[in-house]
Amino acid sequence: MQRSVLTLLVLTIACNGGGTSSGTDSDPGSSTGTSTGVGTGSTTGDEPTTATTSPTGTSGTTTTTTTTDGPTTESGPTSTTAATTGPDTTGSTTTDGTTGEPDGEVHDPDQDGPWQFDELAGEIDVDGEMIGVTAHYPTSGPEAGPYPVVTIAHGFNLPPTQYTGYATRLASHGYVVLNVDHAGYIFGTVDHVANAKQVLAALDWAGEHPVLGDISDLNNVGTTGHSLGGKISVLAAMYDARVKASLTLDPVDGANMCPNMQACPDASAMLPIAIPLGFLGETLDTAGFMACAPAAENFTTFYAEANAPALQVTVNGANHMSFLDDVASCGITCSFCQQPTLANAVVNDLARAYVVAYFGRWLRDAPGYDTYLTGAEAQQRYVDTGLVTIAEK
């Protein structure tokens, strides 16, 4: 069946990692923002608690206007809501034998963690491009902040809300998570370098934010992202020494519609870099007419150039879009990829667990998470059941 020219254009861009931005290569550190905060907890991260469940808290919806050096004003109604909907965490384990030590404590990454968390949103001006950021951050839990920070970069022509499940899982395990709405949509100037700087600008925004500043460890950052967002996350790790580890979801190293290689460099060719790198991916969408994740640009090309320690996890039966929270609501952008044989929910569970375990291992310096990455738990849950194939170096 023949497709229209517009449909072919959408397919070419959506599946092969094109991105849009009007940003330039100037320093992303200077910004102003307008934030809207939505609270879901009645305690703060400065007061640790031994609670092992997620109790109901008091929520306040506020509108906050900030600048990097100005005052803050707030107003708005309040209501009552649950802080999280996570399961009981009384089964949390310390598989590395360091019970009670913050750097050694291990919680099952396939479950929500023991931290309560809040959500707030803001907007940053990055070289004239207004970039949205949604932050999920701990308010109480087994330890007080500052907490490691993780950025999330969405795939091309995909909304950041498709990755909220990753953000809330990470926040429940004690991370400040910045889900960044970088300029990666169908119209505009394609500039992956500018996209990476937009993601990094969120770190500076968080550091100056009246709520996030004191609880964010900006010298202990991880980056994650899907598709184009995976490439952007690897570039961000190259550009900023605050990034200490990166785990990406079916990254695509494409350069479709790019004006030049300076704007859209071959990220895998720029490897290795001196931090741990992990890559989850699939092989259903690597070949065929306008493949969504071409073999010459897919996650294996990143892994091949990475130095140890590096991790590659092939999710058998997933397609390129299986890593989204809800493929059913994705629309036309998801319609061109191969049909997966693995349920969306199965891939969600696996990918979220890997993201938590990876950053637990490298940002929290907890070797006990190795069991969920490559060790006994990973073998039992994923390898023995045929869900994944693991390579490491």
How many angstroms separate the CA atoms of 364 and 375, rounded? Answer: 18
Q: Are 92 and 105 in contact (CB under 8 A)?
A: yes
Which stretches within the chain are classed as H helix? 5-15, 164-172, 192-208, 228-239, 299-305, 344-362, 370-373, 376-378
How many angstroms separate the CA atoms of 223 and 244, rounded? Answer: 9
If you average pLDDT over every residue of the chain, what do you get? Answer: 80
Residue 247: the pLDDT is 98
Residue 157 has pLDDT above 60, yes or no: yes
Q: Are 229 and 198 in contact (CB under 8 A)?
A: no
pLDDT, average across residues 358-362: 98
pLDDT, average across residues 327-349: 93
In this structure, which amino acid lies at residue 100? Answer: G
Q: Which residue, 381, 349, 379, 366, is CA-closest to 94?
A: 366
pLDDT, average across residues 138-147: 95
Residue 238: the pLDDT is 98
Residue 378: the pLDDT is 98
Residue 93: the pLDDT is 38
pLDDT, average across residues 100-126: 88
Lowest-confidence region among 55-64, 157-166, 219-228, 343-352: 55-64
pLDDT, average across residues 87-102: 36
Alpha carbon distances (Å) from 72 to 34, 68, 177, 307 = 10, 10, 22, 45
Could you tell me where the beta strands, DSSP code E, fall in the chain?
Answer: 32-38, 56-67, 73-75, 78-82, 116-126, 129-140, 147-153, 176-181, 216-225, 243-249, 277-281, 310-315, 388-392
Q: Which residue, 261, 254, 317, is CA-closest to 284?
A: 317
Residue 260: the pLDDT is 87
Residue 242 has phi, psi (to 5 degrees) of -70, -20
pLDDT, average across residues 195-221: 98
Q: Which residue, 14, 44, 39, is CA-closest to 154?
A: 14
Instruction: Check residue 379 and report its DSSP letter.
Output: I
Q: Which residue, 220, 241, 248, is CA-closest to 358?
A: 248
In CATH, what is the architecture of 5-392? 3-Layer(aba) Sandwich (3.40)
Grouping H, G, I as helix, E, B as strand and the rest as coil, residue 194 is helix
Lowest-confidence region among 139-153, 174-188, 189-203: 174-188
User: pLDDT of 276-313, one tens digit each?
Assistant: 999 999 999 998 878 899 999 999 999 999 999 999 99
How many angstroms separate the CA atoms of 385 and 24, rounded? Answer: 47
